[in-house]
Structure 1
Amino acid sequence: MHVVELRFECFDNTTITAAEQAINGLLEAYRANGQVLGREFAVAFNDGEFRVRLLMPEKSSLAKRYNSPWVEHALGKLTEAKLLHPREKYIGQDINSEVTSTETPSWQLIYTSYVHMCSPLRNGDTLQPIPLYQIPATFNGDHKRIIKWQTEWQACDELQMAAATKAEFAALEELTSSGSDLFRRGWDLRGRVEYLTHIPTYYYLYRVGGESLASEQQRPCPRCGNQDWLLDEPLLDMFHFRCDDCRIVSNISWDHL
C-alpha cells in the first residue's frame, strides 16, 4: 500500500462548510470505488489550502482511468465549492500494510478480517489484495456494496474477537453460518465478481467451535453437503476445505488447530 497527500487550493472565496462537503464527497467516492482505503480521513486546513493523507492500494490508484462516474461527479463538485482539483504529493510505501497483487490470479476469493483495511478481493494464489477498481464495477458504477459488506463483516469479527457481550453469539452466527444474511450478501457479491472477471471466485466461510479435530475433518460443505471438500494440504496454509460447486473455502475450526 502507498501513502499520498492531496492538497486542495481555493481559486475564489469559499466557506469551510462548502469545502468540507466537496472534499468529503470526493473521498467517499474514492473509497466506494476502492481507490482509497480506510474509513476516516483527517482533513486539515492550513496556509490557505486543505490537506489530507490517504492510504491507497497502488501509487497510481487515483489515476483518471480508474475513476467511477461518482468520482467524476465529486470532482465537479469541487469546482462548485471554488476548489481546484487536488494536487498529489507521494509520501511513500506504507510499511504496515500488505503488498497489492499485480498478477492475474488463477482463482480469487472474498476474504477480510477486522484488522485488514485492504481490498476484500484476494488473489487465490498468493492471498494478496486485488484493488477493486481493477475489475469492472460490480453495481451502480462502483464497488460500494462490496465495501459495505466488508464493513459489516469486520464489525461482526471485532465483536466475536472481543468476546465480552452476548452480541458475540449473534456476530458468530453471521460469520459462520451459510444461512446468515452476511453470507448471502457476500456469496452473491462473489458470484457477481466471478461473472464480471471470468475468474473462479470463492467465499471464505469462517469457522470456530466444533467438538474435536476428528469431527471437524468429517464435516461436510454446509451449503450442498459435499463430503469430499477436505483438502490433502491446506491452501495458503489457511484454508482446509474447498467446495468447487458452491465456491466456498473454509478452515478447520481454529479451536482445534
Structure 2
Amino acid sequence: MFTAELTFECYQDTTIDAVDGAITQLIDALRYNGQILGREFPTSIDDGVFITRVVCPEEESLHPNHHSSIVEKRLQALSKAGLLAPKIRLTGMDLHSDNTDPCQQPEWQVLYTHYLSTCSPLRCGEHLAPIPLYKLPTPAIGDHQDLLRWQVDWSSTDELQMHGTTLKQACSEVLTDISSPLNHTGWQLAKDIEQQSKVPTYYYLYHLADTTEPSAKTARPCPSCGGTWQLESPLHGIFDFKCEPCRLVSNLPW
C-alpha cells in the first residue's frame, strides 16, 4: 500500500461548507471504488489550500484509468465548490499495510477480512494478498459500496467478540452461523463477484473454539451441503476446510 496527498486549491471565492461537501463526496466515491482504503481521511487547510491524506492499494491507484463514473462525476462537481481538480503527490509506502496482490488474474479468490483489516476484503487465493476493488467489473449500482459496508459490519462484529464484551456470545453466533444475515450477505456478495469476474470466489466462514472433542471438530461437515471438506494441510495457515461446490472456506478453532 502507498500513502498519498490530494491537494485541492480554490480558484474562486467559496465557503468552507461547500469545499468540505465536495471533497467529502469525492473521497467517498474513491473509497467505494477501492482506489483509497480505510475510513478516516484527515484534511487540513492552509491559506486556502486543502490537503487530504489517503492510503492507496497501488502507486497508480488514483490514475484516471481506474476512475468509476461516480468518481468522474464527483471530480466534475469540484468546480461548483470553487475547487480545481486535486494535485496528487505519492508520499511513500505504508509500512503497516498488506502488499497488494501481484497476480494479473488469480486462479481463485476469497472474501476474507478481520477486525484489524482496512484493505480490500477480496483476496487472491494463491497469495492471500488483497485485490484492489477497481480491478473488478463495476457492479450495477456503480461502485462497491455494498461490499465495503459488509466489511465494516463484519469487522465491527469481530472486534466486539474479540474484546470479550457483553455482546461476545451474540457476535460469535453471528460470525459462525452460515445462515446469519451477516454471512448470508457476504456469501451472496462472493457469488456476485464470481459471476461478474468469472473467477471462482469463496467465502470465509469463521469458526470458534468450543467444547467438542478435537476429532469431532476436524470431522465437521460443510455447513451448506454436509459434504467432506477438510483439507490435508491448511492453506495460508488459516483455512483448514474448503468446499468447492459451495465456495466456502473455514478454519479449525484457534
TM-score, length-scaled by structure 1 = 0.96
Structure 2 residue aligned with 1:108: 109
Structure 2 residue aligned with 1:15: 15
Structure 1 residue aligned with 2:152: 151
Distance 1:50 1:102 in 2: 33
Distance 1:113 1:141 in 2: 25
RMSD: 0.9
Following TM superposition, by how much is the alpha carbon of 1:139 offset from its aligned partner in structure 2, in angstroms?
3.8
Which deviates the most, 92-101 or 134-143?
134-143
Structure 1 residue aligned with 2:38: 38
Please list the CA deviations of residues 203-236 of structure 1 after superposition, one character each: whole Å capped at 9, or x if unmatched.
Answer: 000000231321110111111111x201101111
Structure 2 residue aligned with 1:74: 74
User: In structure 1, what residue type is equivalent to 2:124?
Assistant: N
Number of residue pairs the alignment of both structures matches = 252
Correspondences of 1:177-188 after superposition (within 5 Å): 177-188=177-188
TM-score, length-scaled by structure 2 = 0.97
SS at match of 1:28: helix
Please list the CA deviations of residues 49-78 of structure 1 after superposition, one character each: whole Å capped at 9, or x if unmatched.
Answer: 000110000011111111111111111110
Structure 2 residue aligned with 1:223: 224
Distance 1:232 1:132 in 2: 31
Please list the CA deviations of residues 12-43 of structure 1 after superposition, one character each: whole Å capped at 9, or x if unmatched.
Answer: 00000000000000000111111110111111
SS at match of 1:95: coil
Distance 1:176 1:206 in 2: 5
- How high is the sequence identity, in percent, across the aligned residues? 44
Contact 1:190-1:201 at 8 Å conserved across structures = yes
Distance 2:201 2:185 in 1: 14
Distance 1:123 1:55 in 2: 20
SS at match of 1:39: coil
Q: Does residue 126 of structure 2 align to residue 125 of structure 1?
A: yes
Structure 2 residue aligned with 1:63: 63
Distance 2:149 2:66 in 1: 20
> Which stretches in structure 1 are left out of the alignment for 5+ residues?
none
> Which stretches in structure 2 are left out of the alignment for 5+ residues?
none
Please list the CA deviations of residues 92-124 of structure 1 after superposition, one character each: whole Å capped at 9, or x if unmatched.
Answer: 000111100121211100000010100000000
Which deviates the most, 206-215 or 145-154?
206-215
Contact 1:139-1:145 at 8 Å conserved across structures = no
User: In structure 1, what residue type is equivalent to 2:243?
Assistant: C
Please list the CA deviations of residues 157-190 of structure 1 after superposition, one character each: whole Å capped at 9, or x if unmatched.
Answer: 000001121x212211221111100111101110
User: In structure 1, what residue type is equivalent to 2:120?
Assistant: S
Give runs of ≥4 in structure 1 deviating > 2 Å.
Answer: none
